[in-house]
């Protein structure tokens, strides 16, 4: 997997011509998780590909170091950190996903992972108070992704009960209450304010020079492109972090130099619908990876 970071100054240098490309989807998400994650994990609407977390951990940390995910979902960052003998800390707002994350970390332990992990059910806007106090100033890496773009989330259910095939969505929701604004998925325009708060808390926990890796992607709201990657960089700067790299994590396989796209049903449907309506949309087969760093003391 290629990853050749070049020294990058603050945000001006984020637009350099040749970003690192991470070949993180040589196998599908379900294949990467099979046997390594409990089956209930499938119900989460926006899981990170395990290979993305694994690559970030291998690249930015060493065995024994501390890795944090303040919005850990089913615990992908934690499980991959444990398998690389790191210590992992996860925070998750929804009790259901926090329980599944804990189950996944127990499975990793049973499978002989050399690291250990703790999962905390709470609001990451208080992450600096929720994390064990002995990790304050010692976290080497944060790997996380904010909730976004519900239009591509969910699994499909096909029924032919009435004789006519029907497609329905399931597993497309983060929590039981869509009005609960404690979950960033429900905060609407306040998402970036809340995310900036979480990044500031992570900054307090990071060691000087420690990194934050955030996966995100542009998405569409009522047809309009929402440039979440650029907004994420701005949120990081507002939280006192330095943008150092912008990489690409492939969601498509690479075969003989060609991309093999594996879109979700809904991503494909959205693009087809847009094209039918005359809007020349393309299928997005990557996530943007924003890398930020805590400044060293001067």
Ligand X SMILES: C[S@@+](CC[C@H](N)C(=O)[O-])C[C@H]1O[C@@H](n2cnc3c(N)ncnc32)[C@H](O)[C@@H]1O
- Residue ranges in contact with ligand X by CB under 6 A: 44, 46-48, 71-74, 76, 91-94, 97, 123-125, 145, 147, 174-175, 182-185
Cα distance between residue 210 and residue 141, in whole Å: 6
First to last CA, the chain: 34
For ligand X, the closer CB: 19 or 175: 175
For ligand X, the closer CB: 33 or 87: 33
Residue nearest to ligand X (CB): 73
Q: Shortest Cβ distance from residue 208 to ligand X (Å)?
A: 25
Supply the DSSP symbol for 77.
H
Say which residues have a Cβ less than 8 Å from residue 192's Cβ, sequence separation at least 6.
231, 234, 235
Q: Shortest Cβ distance from residue 153 to ligand X (Å)?
A: 9
C-alpha torsion sign, points 84, 61, 255, 41: positive
For ligand X, the closer CB: 48 or 242: 48
Cα distance between residue 113 and residue 83, in whole Å: 4
Q: Shortest Cβ distance from residue 248 to ligand X (Å)?
A: 18
For ligand X, the closer CB: 217 or 293: 217
Cα distance between residue 100 and residue 40, in whole Å: 7
Residue (of 132, 126, 172) closest to 152 by Cα position: 172
Q: Shortest Cβ distance from residue 239 to ligand X (Å)?
A: 15
For ligand X, the closer CB: 8 or 47: 47
What's the CA angle centered on 137, arms 134 and 139, to 5 degrees? 85
For ligand X, the closer CB: 92 or 288: 92
Q: Shortest Cβ distance from residue 49 to ligand X (Å)?
A: 8
Under 8 Å between Cβ of 157 and 169: yes
Q: Shortest Cβ distance from residue 287 to ligand X (Å)?
A: 11
Cα distance between residue 213 and residue 229, in whole Å: 12
Q: Shortest Cβ distance from residue 21 to ligand X (Å)?
A: 20
For ligand X, the closer CB: 182 or 253: 182
Residue (of 218, 79, 53, 239) closest to 144 by Cα position: 53
Q: Shortest Cβ distance from residue 224 to ligand X (Å)?
A: 21
Structure tokens at 221: 């709201």
- C-alpha distances in Å from residue 32, one per residue of 2, 17, 218, 237, 253: 19, 31, 24, 33, 13
For ligand X, the closer CB: 20 or 183: 183
């Amino acid at each position: 997997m290629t990853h050749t970071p070049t020294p990058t100054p603050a945000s001006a240098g984020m637009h350099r011509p040749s970003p690192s490309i991470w070949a993180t989807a040589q196998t599908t998400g379900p294949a990467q998780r099979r046997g390594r994650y409990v089956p209930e994990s499938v119900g989460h609407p926006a899981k990170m590909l395990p290979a993305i977390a694994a690559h970030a951990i291998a690249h930015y940390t060493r065995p024994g170091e501390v890795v944090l995910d303040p919005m850990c979902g089913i615990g992908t960052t934690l499980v991959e950190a444990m398998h690389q003998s790191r210590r992992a800390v996860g925070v998750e707002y929804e009790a259901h996903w926090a329980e599944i994350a804990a189950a996944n970390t127990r499975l990793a332990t049973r499978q002989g992972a050399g690291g250990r992990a703790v999962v905390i059910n709470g609001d990451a806007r208080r992450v600096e108070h929720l994390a064990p106090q002995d990790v304050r100033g010692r976290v080497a890496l944060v790997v996380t992704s904010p909730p976004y773009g519900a239009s591509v989330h969910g699994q499909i259910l096909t029924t032919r009960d009435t004789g006519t095939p029907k497609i329905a969505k399931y597993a497309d929701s983060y929590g039981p209450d869509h009005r609960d604004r404690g979950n960033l998925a429900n905060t609407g325009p306040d998402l970036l304010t809340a995310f900036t708060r979480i990044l500031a808390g992570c900054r307090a926990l990071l060691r000087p020079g420690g990194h934050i890796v955030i996966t995100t992607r542009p998405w569409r709201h009522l047809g309009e492109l929402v440039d979440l990657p650029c907004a994420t960089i701005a949120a990081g700067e507002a939280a006192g972090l330095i943008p150092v790299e912008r990489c690409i994590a492939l969601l498509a396989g690479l075969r003989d130099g060609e991309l093999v796209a594996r879109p979700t049903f809904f991503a494909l449907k959205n693009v087809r619908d847009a094209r039918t309506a005359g809007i020349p949309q393309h299928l997005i087969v990557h996530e943007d990876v924003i890398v930020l760093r805590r400044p060293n003391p001067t």
